Structure 1
Amino acid sequence: MTHVELTCLQGLADLEQLEGPWLDGMVTGDPEVTATTMRLLLAHMTWNSKRLLGAMVLDRMDAETLSTRAEFPDSCQRFVNALDSATRSNPQE
C-alpha cells in the first residue's frame, strides 16, 4: 500500500471519528458554534492536504528509487538505457 493510500485512509478515519461532534455543533443553531465547527473542518482539510502532499513526495521518491535500480528497470528505464547506448555508439550525431 502506498503512502498516499495510507494517508487518505487515515484522513477518512479521522473525519469519521469527528463526524458526530461536528454534526452536534451544526445542529445547535448557534452561529458561533457553527462557525467554529466550520473552521475546525477547514483546518482539518488543510492539515490533511499537507500530509497528502508529503505522502505524494514519498511515493514519488520510492518510485524513482525502484526505477533507477539496475536489477529492476521498468520499461521507461530500459528505453532510456537503450537511447543512451545508441547515442554513445554514434558520437558524430
Structure 2
Amino acid sequence: LPYGVRKMVEIARALCLGPRLILLDEPSSGLNPEETEDLSFWIEDINEELGITVVMVEHDMNLVNQVSDRVLALTDGAVIAVGTPVEIQNHPDVLRAYLGD
C-alpha cells in the first residue's frame, strides 16, 4: 500500500477499538498535499461525526488551522500560548518564538 494509505489504515485500526480519545503524532508527515487534505477531512469526521476527541502534535499549520478548535503552542517543551488557531497565530510569544524579534 502507498504510504498515505497506510497512515489512514493505522488511524482506522485505532478507531476499531472505539476510543473516546485518539492521539495523532505528526499525522501529515510524509503525506503529499492531496493526502493531507484527505487527512483533514478524516480528522474532522472523527471529531464531529464520531464524537471522538483528537489530540494532535503537528507542524503543518495549515492542517492545524483547518481541524483545530484549540491550539497549545510549545517551545523547548514549555507552553507559550493556548487559544484558538487565530489567537495563536497572532500571539506575541508565538511570533517571537517562531519568527524572532
Q: Which has the higher strand share?
A: 2
Same fold? TM cut 0.5: no
TM-score scaled by length of structure 1: 0.30
TM-score scaled by length of structure 2: 0.28
Q: Which has the higher helix share?
A: 1
Which structure would you say has the larger RCO, counting Cα contacts within 8 Å and 6 or more residues apart? Answer: 1
